Amino acid sequence: MNFTKYLIALLVLIAFNSEAQTKKLKAYLDEKQYYAPEIGNYIEIQLQYVGYTIAYTAKENGLQGEIAVIMKFKQHDSIIASDAFRLQTPFMKDSIVEDFYDIKRFALKPGVYSFSIELKDLNSNEASLNATKNITIEDLSLKTTISDIEIAESATQGDESSVFFKSGYNIIPKLSNYFPNELSFMPVYFEIYNTEKLNEDAFGIKQKIVNSMTGEEISMFTKTTRHKPASVVPFARSIDIQNLPSGKYILEYTVINKVMAEVSKQTYEFERSSNIDNVFDPEKIILNPAFQESIHKDSVQFYLASLIPMAKPAEIKNILAVIKTKNEDNARKLIQGFWIATAGTNAYDSWMKYKEQVVYVEHLYKNNYQAGYETDRGRVYLQYGAPTSVIQRETTSNEYPYEIWQYNKIGKYSNKRFIFYNPDLVSTSYRLLHSDMIGEMKNPGWQQVLTSRNTPHGNIDTPNQNVNSTFGDSNYYFKQY
């Protein structure tokens, strides 16, 4: 079965108190198919609402939003199944909002359906918007087969009253298939059906992970477990991926019988970003003429160094070592090898797009002593992409010049901000002062630093105690996101 996930982006105008602000209601949607003997085949619609894109109203316990949801499954213009309800968001505290999840299940007979979903932010004046897609419901009742593989954002001891309850656990679904270095485990859940039809006293489940670019099986993850047959056999496992290098992979589970023959198979594709050391061996890389022609001889070292904002610590070590040797061929090979490891078959196209961005940040951010990619703004742009919005203030009454960059999404993280400032007032070398992005510099006293020309220092515990925040200053804009 091949079910694709997609992003529903619904544009709405929302208001906080009396100040109208433009927001984009966003929800990530995925679907998984299962089978239960008592109800038959059913589909699970999973939604992750991006918290900061929703309009909230003040309640006694905090801020709360409300969304109207309508789901329909049609065949030949006839509604086969539907649900309409109002979803109240969890209570949010002050300006801290988090993503939240919801699940709806529909029992459906095998066949092709047109699925539609309508989302309406009830605190917005905008009309609701819609999305549709075709979904094929497979018949999982006939033979031994495996349900869709679900990866959990979290799994805790179960409560049958919860919409997230499955086989003794409350499973919050992970709708992204990207696993950054901070995630060391992959919680897996799926179900196997009709194994009693094998007429054997036991069956096996074989797990393996395959590099989707090279086809290589990663042997450390290959294992087989023994299970007793039943009409429904739930399977839950947490896979330790901390030693899995960066790359694109296929997680594969296979039901095997006593003679090791494959009975059924299910797969899940995912991407891993890791700091695992990848040793650079120039002898194993054959230069692609396209890569060679894309870089002028005088620019090889420059473009090799420009990879540093994208590179992991071990890769940076390789880059610096090759730069030190001043070997042009090895520099070209490392650029090519980096992009093959990063983008696989799309290596050349990904490199050319990145090269354009390097040229762009060079034009915008270079100064007398730094290339564009070496500046803080250039590094952040290359590492995370273009910001969703930028606030620039070159002159203020009591603050150094600053810029606030806001990102709707960085990997699995939502609503991340960076504030840069220019304390020397001469060059354009803006420095990163503070960010709430994981792994970036955090400075709880950033307001005091930004106003330090005319604001006395606070103490260690409250560095910003002498800062007077006013309407339209940096703290006002930073909290708007």
- What phi-psi label fits residue 351: left (phi over 0), alpha (psi between -120 and 50 degrees) or beta? alpha
Q: Is 60 exposed, middle or buried (0-12, 13-18, 19+ CB in 10 A)?
A: exposed
d(CA 382, CA 309): 6
Token pair recorded at residue 402: 């600053």
| pLDDT score at 95 | 62
Handedness of CA 404, 409, 411, 413 (dihedral sign): positive
Backbone phi and psi for residue 269, each to the nearest 5 degrees, phi listed first: -95, 140
* Contact indicator for 173, 103 with CB cutoff of 8 Å: yes
The pLDDT, as a whole number, for residue 122 is 92
| Residue 284 per-residue DSSP state | G
Q: Please tell me the distance from the alpha carbon of residue 126 to that of residue 106, in angstroms, as a whole number.
A: 29
Pairing of strands 262-272, 178-179: parallel
| Amino acid found at 178 | Y
Mean pLDDT, each 10-residue run in order, the chain (481 residues): 39 30 75 95 94 88 92 96 95 80 96 95 82 94 95 86 87 89 91 95 96 84 96 95 88 94 95 72 81 90 94 85 91 90 81 95 92 96 93 82 90 85 82 90 86 59 52 52 41
Tallying the residues shown for the chain, one arrives at 481
Give the SS3 label for residue 432. strand
Q: What is the pLDDT of residue 92?
A: 86
pLDDT of 18 reads 30
Contacts of 254 (CB under 8 A, 6+ apart): 205, 206, 262, 263, 264, 265
Q: Which amino acid is at 10?
A: L
CA torsion angle for 348, 354, 360, 365 (degrees, to 10)? -140
